[in-house]
Homo-oligomer: A and B are copies of this chain.
Amino acid sequence: MKLYDSPFAPNPRRVRIFLAEKGLQIPTETVELGKMQHRTDEFRALNPREQTPVLVLDDGSALSESVAICRFIEELHPEPSLFGASPRERAFTEMWNRRMELGLLMTVQAVFRHLHPAMAQLEDQCAAWGEANKPRLLKELAGLDAELTNRPYVAGDQFTIADITALCAVDFMRPTRIPLPEELVHLKRWKDEVSARPSASA
């Protein structure tokens, strides 16, 4: 297998953290988005959507979409479980991962993509949409803070892929130039804790 990976972007980082939590290393090729290396014919043959990460399997087929890659790795290496160990756990882990994705990660990405000057060369920017996502992001963060009042991790008592997605989203607020509101003390406690895991440096 071979992983096509990109620095800085939050989605490839989800897969890197996931692999680190599993204790796995996969041969990696770097695709520099800033140098448009995801827009070459060679890369488009791997993923016509021009997105990283991509995992090329031993039979040559190219698997994209971060969560599809993570789930495939989970099936090959079930321990430690990051998607949940029972049907019920897997259901609620998926619910929380999707809430973190659709609610938090896509919101901060919308602000970044549609407002950051460096993204003008990569995106058809819609500034009104970038602005519309700023209050949505703050609402999502407040909601997550409330959830973390009574439990250690996003999906419950165990660290899961939902924490990985949430951490990549929250850390992506820095290049997006949005500070984490100081009053969100439960979110801050969680962030400090998951950031202290060795995988967070991935």
Q: Report how many copies the assembly holds.
A: 2
A83-127 Cβ-contact flags toward B at 8 Å (1 or 0):
000011011101100110001000000000000000000001010
> For the side of the interface on A, what is the size category?
20 to 34
Q: Across the interface, which residues of B come within 8 angstroms of A8, CB to CB?
A: none
Chain B residues positioned under 8 Å from A61 (CB to CB): 92
- Our pick among B65, B75, B132 for the contact of A90 (Cβ within 8 Å) is B75
* Contact of A91 with B72 in the complex, beta carbons under 8 Å: yes
**A174 sits at the interface (CB 8 A):** no
The answer to whether the Cβ of A63 comes within 8 Å of any Cβ in the partner chain is yes
3 closest Cβ pairs, A-B complex: A72-B91, A75-B87, A68-B94
Can you identify 15 A-B contacts, CB atoms within 8 angstroms? A49-B99, A57-B88, A63-B91, A63-B92, A65-B95, A65-B98, A67-B98, A68-B94, A72-B87, A72-B88, A126-B128, A126-B129, A126-B132, A129-B129, A129-B132
